[in-house]
Amino acid sequence: MKTNLLKLIFAFLLIVSFTACQSPGSASYDNDTNTTGETMETLSVPSDFKWNTHSDIQVTLESEHTGIFQITSDNGVVYYRAGLNGNGQYTFTLPVPSYEREVIVRFRGNESKLTLDSGSVFLSI
């Protein structure tokens, strides 16, 4: 029984190794893109293309309450977490992915949406 199982595993690994190995030119593509002769020098990029992968947003929060706040994405990824001491304004730089247009500020059981349409935002919580 044990030898049969070992033979079966060996045969499976042998088959997988032959089907996984392909020569570099044998890959087939389903799309219609022509990739031959393309180099970085011939790559055409629009002049208004933004190469940044993140944006730095200047955020000012104002609160008379103490507590911990957090800034998250719509799907719960935490971008920033800090404590407020209730002494007025707290200003910081928030690095977020460039594709984010809106984040959620959670503080003392409340949620506020914060739109990231400029380089700086203000929120009273």
Q: Tell me how crowded residue 111 is: count the other CB atoms within 10 A of its CB.
A: 10
Token representation of residue 13: 């690994």
Domain range for 71 is 54-124
Indicate if the pLDDT at residue 35 is higher than 70: no
What are the residues whose beta carbons fall under 8 Å from the beta carbon of 32, sequence distance 6 or more?
none
pLDDT for position 7:
83
Domain count, the chain: 1
The answer to the question of residue 15 being in a domain is no
Whole-number average pLDDT of the chain: 82
Indicate if the pLDDT at residue 23 is higher than 90: no
pTM for the whole structure: 0.59
Per DSSP, the residues of 17-63 read HHHH---GGG---SS----TT--TTT----TT----SEEEEEEEEEE
pLDDT for position 22:
58
Indicate if the pLDDT at residue 73 is higher than 90: yes
The answer to the question of residue 105 being in a domain is yes
pLDDT bracket for residue 24 (50, 70, 90)? low
Token representation of residue 47: 């002049």
pLDDT for position 111:
92
Give the whole-angstrom CA distance, residue 83 versus residue 123: 15
pLDDT for position 119:
85
What are the residues whose beta carbons fall under 8 Å from the beta carbon of 106, sequence distance 6 or more?
69, 70, 71, 72
Indicate if the pLDDT at residue 14 is higher than 60: yes
The full length of the chain comes to: 125
What CATH number does the domain containing 80 carry?
2.60.40.10
Contact (CB, 8 A) for 107 and 67: yes
